[in-house]
């Protein structure tokens, strides 16, 4: 089954053609990072307008890359939410229009489920497994019993991990989006240079606001002196990745899961991947999406449309939604 998928929930206009949920035939991403950098974050109204401008060219490029015509597509999919409403509307209306014009089904997809499904691309992964989902807007551990049977078994009570990465990066004077820059600097620093606090919360909770405050105090303590950027980044990255992996591992054991996967933009983080893959030596099987399928993309939407679409009686009446 060939699915043409669109992702437009935030600041990436992306399209992909995916075969049977696992094989990516073509994949295009147009990132708006340059536009939003001068504002230090995504401006929803500006993002929606950019999606409108780029959606046509990105659709065209995706078909050209694949050498496939719209008539050969079996279904058209898009992210329906959660995300920025004005942005989601662009992708959803484009996908519905393509479906209507070519007389094929439209398949709505949940953005968070799509991140999880990025792990099915080019892999032999099958449920059950435990998934650590870490993105700019969400931090959750999900027990995936089956493709369409999932339970959130832990989530953040304040900030999402990606959000904290971006805020701490801004504190250090790094440009938006800070996560990837912070990760790069961290790799050159000493992870034990500063002892940072770990939140004392339940096994089904994450909390990062205390860590954020500790970093604010730490950076301020240098006053006029130069901030040891690399060591602070490395210590922050160590604290975050250690907490995420420890909690996920505990929950995997609690639910009797020997397979652990990660997903979302922060799944691209070097230290998180290192700690996750190290669990292979302890009898676990671990997976993470290829780097290009961690941050927002449409290949994961195409996979999710195949494995775990939003179930609704009349998909063409599906509307966008901002929150999970
Ligand atoms: O999944 P995503 O592309 O968008 C959302 O659905 O939110 O995630 C974006 C987040 C941003 O906060 C970004 O800073 C973070 O993922 N990110 C990283 C890395 N690459 C992207 N955070 C830490 N290390 C990275 N290498
Ligand atoms: Zn995302």
Q: How does pLDDT run across 43-61, given as a tens digit for each residue?
A: 999 999 999 999 999 999 9
For ligand 1, whether the C-beta of 136 sits within 6 Å is yes
Eight-state DSSP code of residue 309: P
The percentage of the chain sitting over the pLDDT mark of 90, rounded to a whole number, equals 94
- 141-147's contacts with Cβ under 8 Å and 24+ in sequence apart are 141/247, 141/248, 141/251, 142/116, 143/251, 143/255, 143/257, 144/116, 147/307, 147/308
User: Is any ligand 1 atom within 6 A of the Cβ of residue 10?
Assistant: yes
Using alpha carbons only, give the angle 50, 323, 142 rounded to the nearest 5 degrees: 115
Q: Ligand 2 center to residue 195 CA distance, Å?
A: 30
297 Cβ inside 6 Å of ligand 1: no
- If you average pLDDT over residues 9-19, what whole number do you get? 97
Q: Quote the distance between the C-alpha of residue 35 and its chain's center.
A: 20
The yes-or-no verdict on residue 216 having pLDDT over 90 is: yes
Q: Which atom of ligand 1 is nearest to the CA of 169?
A: 14
Phi, psi at 303, each rounded to 5°: -70, -45
Verify whether ligand 1 is closer than 6 Å to residue 180 (CB atom).
yes
Specify the pLDDT at position 319: 97
User: Would you say residue 40 has pLDDT above 90?
Assistant: no
Q: Measured from the CB, is residue 269 less than 6 Å from ligand 1?
A: yes
Pocket test for ligand 1, best of 88, 136, 238, 267 (most atoms within 8 A of CB): 136
Contacts (Cβ under 8 Å, ≥6 apart) of 53: none
pLDDT, mean of residues 146-150: 95
For ligand 1, mutation pick of 163, 266, 271 (most atoms within 8 Å of CB)? 266
Report how far ligand 1's centroid is from the alpha carbon of 97 (Å).
30
Q: Which helix (H) or strand (E) holds 5?
A: strand 2-7
Contacts of 216 by beta carbon, 8 Å cutoff, 6+ apart: 171
> What confidence tens digit (pLDDT) does each residue in 74-108 have?
999 999 999 999 999 999 999 999 999 999 999 99
State the closest ligand 1 atom to the C-alpha of 295, by its place in the atom list counted from 1.
Answer: 3
Q: Is 21 in the pocket of ligand 1 (CB under 6 A)?
A: no
Residue 324 has a pLDDT of 83
3-state helix, strand, coil in the chain (%, to 5): 45, 20, 35
Residue with tokens 């329906």, as numbered in its chain: 80
Q: Could you tell me if the CB of 268 is within 6 A of ligand 1?
A: yes
Distance (angstroms) between ligand 1 centre and the Cα of 273 equals 13
Mean pLDDT value across the chain:
96
Mean pLDDT, residues 106-115 taken together? 98
Atom of ligand 1 nearest to the CA of 296: 3
**Ligand 1 near 261 CB (within 6 A):** no
Residue having the nearest C-alpha atom to atom 20 of ligand 1: 180
C-beta atoms surrounding 168 within 10 Å = 24
- Please choose, from the candidates 216, 282, 207, the residue with its C-alpha nearest in 3D space to the C-alpha of residue 249: 282
Q: What is the value of pTM for the model shown?
A: 0.97
The residue contributing the CA closest to ligand 1 atom 24 is 269
Ligand 1 touching residue 264 (CB < 6 A) = yes
According to the model, what pLDDT value does residue 177 have? 83
């Amino acid at each position: 089954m060939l699915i043409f998928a669109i992702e437009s929930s935030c600041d990436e206009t992306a399209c992909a053609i995916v075969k049977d949920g696992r094989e990516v035939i073509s994949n295009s991403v147009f990132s708006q990072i340059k536009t939003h950098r001068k504002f230090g974050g995504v401006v929803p109204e500006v993002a929606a307008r950019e999606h409108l401008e780029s959606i046509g060219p990105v659709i065209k490029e995706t078909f050209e890359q694949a050498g496939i015509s719209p008539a050969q597509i079996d279904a058209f999919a898009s992210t329906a939410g959660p995300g920025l409403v004005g942005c989601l509307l662009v992708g959803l209306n484009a996908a519905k229009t393509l479906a209507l014009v070519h007389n094929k089904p439209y398949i709505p997809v949940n953005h968070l489920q799509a991140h999880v499904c990025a792990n099915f691309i080019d892999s032999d992964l099958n449920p059950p497994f435990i998934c650590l989902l870490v993105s700019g807007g969400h931090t959750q551990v999900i027990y995936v019993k089956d493709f369409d049977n999932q339970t959130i078994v832990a989530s953040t009570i304040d900030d999402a991990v990606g959000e904290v990465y971006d805020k701490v990066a801004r504190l250090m004077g790094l440009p938006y989006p800070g996560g990837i820059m912070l990760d790069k600097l961290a790799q050159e620093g000493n992870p034990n240079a500063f002892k940072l606090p770990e939140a004392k919360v339940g096994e089904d909770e994450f909390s990062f606001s205390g860590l954020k405050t500790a970093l604010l105090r730490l950076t301020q303590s240098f006053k006029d002196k130069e901030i040891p950027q690399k060591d602070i980044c490395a210590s922050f990255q160590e604290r975050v990745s250690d907490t995420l992996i420890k909690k996920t591992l505990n929950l995997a054991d609690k639910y009797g899961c020997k397979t652990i996967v990660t997903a979302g933009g922060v799944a691209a983080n070097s230290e998180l991947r290192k700690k996750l893959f190290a669990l292979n030596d302890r009898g676990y099987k671990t997976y993470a999406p290829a780097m290009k399928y961690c941050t927002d993309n449409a290949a994961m939407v195409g996979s999710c449309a195949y494995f775990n679409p939003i179930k609704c009686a009349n998909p063409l009446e599906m509307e966008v939604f901002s929150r999970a």
